[in-house]
Amino acid sequence: MSRRPGARLGRFAALGLVAIAGPLVLSACAGAEQSGTPAQRVSTWVSGAGAGPSIGSIESDNAVIEKALATHRAAGVIRTACSLLASDATAGNSNLPSPDTQLTTVLENAYQVEYSAGNNCYSGAAGNASLLRRSADERRQGAADLAQAVQRIAAVTGKVPSTTTTTSPGGNDDPFDPS
């Protein structure tokens, strides 16, 4: 099977073009969270990633679990709440990294410990006191980490993000305004 001599040259030229033009095209597509001041980058990321509502969802999940355990709800009800916590922690983690290394680290820790809390809660829901205690400890640690993340966002942006999980039609799109 013979090949034309120019075919190989054309293929190398095409590869060279992709190697040079590819990064240029990708850099032109850089998200807004990759340019501007640190405050602008973090604000854009908080808005785009839904970081405030993500934190609020986990805080709400923790409260639902506490109430379900305190009122001795059925294991299935507790498991549902616990699995929602693990799911929300996974969803929050999928939005990382943030444009701020310190914020990313705090949120990674929070999401990992909340995910573990959800799994331990789920496994202990039928009455395993040891797993439920471990989950409670993890939820407390996760809540402290989430509070630290909110503080970091405020320190970088100068604004506290809203952790409200509900929206109203025609409402405010500002992730730092709870109204």
Name the more confident of 35 and 69. 69
Residue 54 has pLDDT above 50, yes or no: yes
Q: How many Cα neighbours within 13 Å face the side chain of 34?
A: 7
Q: Tell me what the mean pLDDT of segment 60-84 comes to.
A: 97
- For residue 76, the model assigns a pLDDT of 97
Residue 60 has pLDDT above 90, yes or no: yes
82, 88, 89, 92: CA torsion to nearest 10: -170
- Cα–chain-centroid distance for residue 33? 15
The residues spanned by each domain of the chain are 36-156
Query: What's the alpha-carbon Rg for the chain, to the nearest Å?
Result: 23
Pairwise CA distance, residues 62 & 137, whole Å:
11
Residue 96 Cα distances to 18, 23, 24, 105, 143, angstroms:
29, 22, 24, 9, 18
Q: Which of the 8 DSSP states describes residue 35?
A: S
Query: Please, are residues 92 and 111 in contact by the beta-carbon 8 Å criterion?
Result: yes
User: Per CATH, is 36-156 categorized as 1.20.120?
Assistant: yes
- For residue 35, the model assigns a pLDDT of 78
Residue 32 Cα distances to 38, 45, 101, 174, angstroms:
11, 8, 17, 16
pLDDT > 90: what percent of the chain? 72
User: What are phi and psi for residue 23, nearest 5 degrees?
Assistant: -60, -35
- For residue 29, the model assigns a pLDDT of 43
Range from 16-20, 118-122, 150-154, 157-161 carrying the lowest mean pLDDT: 16-20
- For residue 59, the model assigns a pLDDT of 97
Query: Averaging pLDDT over each range in 4-18, 141-155, 156-170, which range is the top one?
Result: 141-155
Q: What is the pLDDT of residues 76-123, one digit of tens each?
A: 999 999 999 999 999 999 999 999 999 999 999 999 999 999 999 999
- For residue 175, the model assigns a pLDDT of 55
